[in-house]
Chain A
């Protein structure tokens, strides 16, 4: 160690350098800065994993395809064929990519129409859950007087088992698209509201917000930098995680007989119909199941990974 140091002292350094240097105050401040962008870090953390990347693409492809397919294809998923020869046909050889069901309907077309229906259901539920939940949660967080009542409501609503409640509402209001929406939203919104309320409380009282206000940061900036990121994360997470949940509920209700009307083409109905013929014609259950699983798994994992990524503690 000493040897190196001594050697350094002997290096030929221009003696002129041993003069006093002018002091630049601006220079002193400049070098300490580190820019941090919440969104960039979130996306970076999220996209770091190859699984996330793959499933994100899969998720988008499946969603887009299910919505575009009806526009591209001429196959009608509802048309019942009277020709016995077209009933229960295995996939391939002019009988459709996924085969036909006991009424001669093309399963490939039904799967994609069904996916579209199921996804629409999920998105509608997510929309209302987040919409109502956010407003309720924001009020709950800001208006202190509401806290007592809302907490009681929260306790009551979460005490009731979700499945039972779902079944009950579907039973009373008779099965249908909007019944399911209502049933799922009725218990779903409170979860979102609670999440938002917690965030509002921490943000409202957080020192960095107080500091921002003291510094005179305009409200618009406070909202966009401190509050909006949390909300957008919440919305994305909620949508992604609602999909597997609503599809599951739909399948379950269909099994009990309280699902969407049999005429509606949905993944839930396809599964319930397909399982009846499973031993004879396994493909009728297998293919829709595959697509359904791809959809739910990709949304589920993407939703969870995104939730993890949007937590700033993971931005390392």
Chain B
């Protein structure tokens, strides 16, 4: 059977309009003879020029979800339902390598989590970047080498000529991740998927890398899909946030909306878990229980068993999305008009207050340059 190479719609997508739309995607894995449904009908919209952060704990399906946009699921996995439309092409329907070559790198590129293992240990770093650059453009060896050098400079690696010839083990952790980022952007992608790129790095380096990604996004006009479990990172990076739990997107909205006006009990729980909200002398908040086994079909709301604020209907029927604002929606029965009024927990209210206070401080100090310094030292 001949699979056609996808023809992407070349029309420019204006900033703010939807670039990639995933609809009701279901991804399953065959594991030891049983079927695991890692992503259970999740939907997502990535808009041009924005940074969308997918937040969730381990096992929420966020990595798998993002990998499916590059066709990089493990061998025992498959997309069993849903669509992922990108420039008129349904990524979920692509099957052969030939088809994916039109997308990978050139349109959608990925930054991996562990820079130690993402680079080929036996090849000079510069060569690996050059490979990426040469793949997606027709140019001779010298030209692609220059592009690679330029990329090294762009990501903030000093002495690019010297560094070009070095091997990955001669780079420090932070520099390696910069090199990985350089490799990813050398392809000139439209969408950059970052799979927890700072998790394996020191906190001090984290801030630098995040700053780098933000700048690159702005300069190169990319859209960034940022996967993380760290809300602190999200606060720095995201324009919009999608919260995932047990294979589904449970809440989606602008960053401000999520931090100030979250509506899903799981988002509340996530926000409440931030250690910065702890009060001296009191126990830190932690979500009780564990995520459900995805080998079984889940009835109702997946978060219900762990949710002290759950309604009886949560155990019976899966809640639909309720629009809170044109840009904000959440998948919880609490937003149904028939549900009792439930206030967000105290801890989350405290967060809201803290954020408001900080913003006020920043505005007040913005003229003196202290704001930038303060931004650097928080988190």
Extra inter-chain contacts (6) besides given A17-B313, A19-B312, A315-B32, CB under 8 Å = A6-B320, A13-B313, A21-B304, A21-B314, A28-B289, A28-B305
B306 located at the interface, meaning its Cβ lies under 8 Å from any Cβ of chain A in the complex: yes
Residues of chain A whose beta carbon lies under 8 Å from any beta carbon of chain B: 1-2, 4-6, 8-9, 11, 13, 15-21, 23-25, 27-34, 41, 44, 315-316
The verdict on B226 contacting chain A, using a C-beta distance below 8 Å, is no
Chain B residue at minimum C-beta to C-beta distance from A5 = B320
B333 close to A (CB within 8 Å): yes
Contacts A5-B320, A6-B320 hold; do A18 and B338 have CB atoms under 8 A apart?
yes
Main secondary structure of the interface of A (DSSP, over half): helix
Residues of B within 8 A of A28 (CB): 288-290, 305-306
A16 and B312 contacting across the interface, CB-CB below 8 Å: yes
Kindly state whether residue B376 has any CB partner on chain A within 8 Å: no
A27 vs B315: C-alpha distance when bound (angstroms):
12
Chain A neighbourhood of B288, CB < 8 A: 25, 28-29
Cα separation A44 to B33 with both chains bound (whole Å): 9
- B309's partner among A20, A34, A316 (CB-CB below 8 A) is A20
In the complex, are the beta carbons of B293 and A31 less than 8 A apart? yes
A29:B293 contact, CB within 8 angstroms:
no
Are B24 and A21 in contact (CB-based, < 8 A)? Answer: no
Contact A23 B308 (CB under 8 A): yes
Identity of the chain B residue whose Cβ is nearest the Cβ of A11 in the assembled complex: B317
Query: For residue B59, which residue of chain A has the nearest CB?
Result: A32
On whether the beta carbons of B291 and A32 are closer than 8 Å, the reply is yes
**With known contacts A28-B305, A29-B290, A21–B311 Cβ distance under 8 A:** yes
Shortest Cβ distance from residue B154 to the other chain A in the assembled complex, whole angstroms: 38
B293's contact among A4, A11, A16, A34, by CB below 8 Å, is which? A34
Pair A31/B320 contact, Cβ less than 8 Å: no
Using Cβ atoms and an 8 Å threshold, which residues of chain A touch B32?
Answer: 41, 44, 315-316
Give the docked Cα–Cα distance between A30 and B338 (Å): 30
List A contacts of B279 (CB < 8 A): none
The complex places the Cα of A19 from the Cα of B316 at a distance, in Å, of 12
With A28-B290, A28-B306 known as contacts, the answer to whether A34 contacts B313 (CB < 8 A) is: no
CA distance A45 to B306 in the complex (A): 35
Q: Which residue of A lies closest to B292 (CB)?
A: A31
**Interface 1/0 per residue, B292-313 and A, CB below 8 Å:** 1101100000001111111111
**A34, B295: Cβ atoms closer than 8 Å:** yes
> Is A1 a contact of B306 with CB atoms below 8 Å?
no
Chain A residues within an 8 Å CB radius of B336: 9, 18
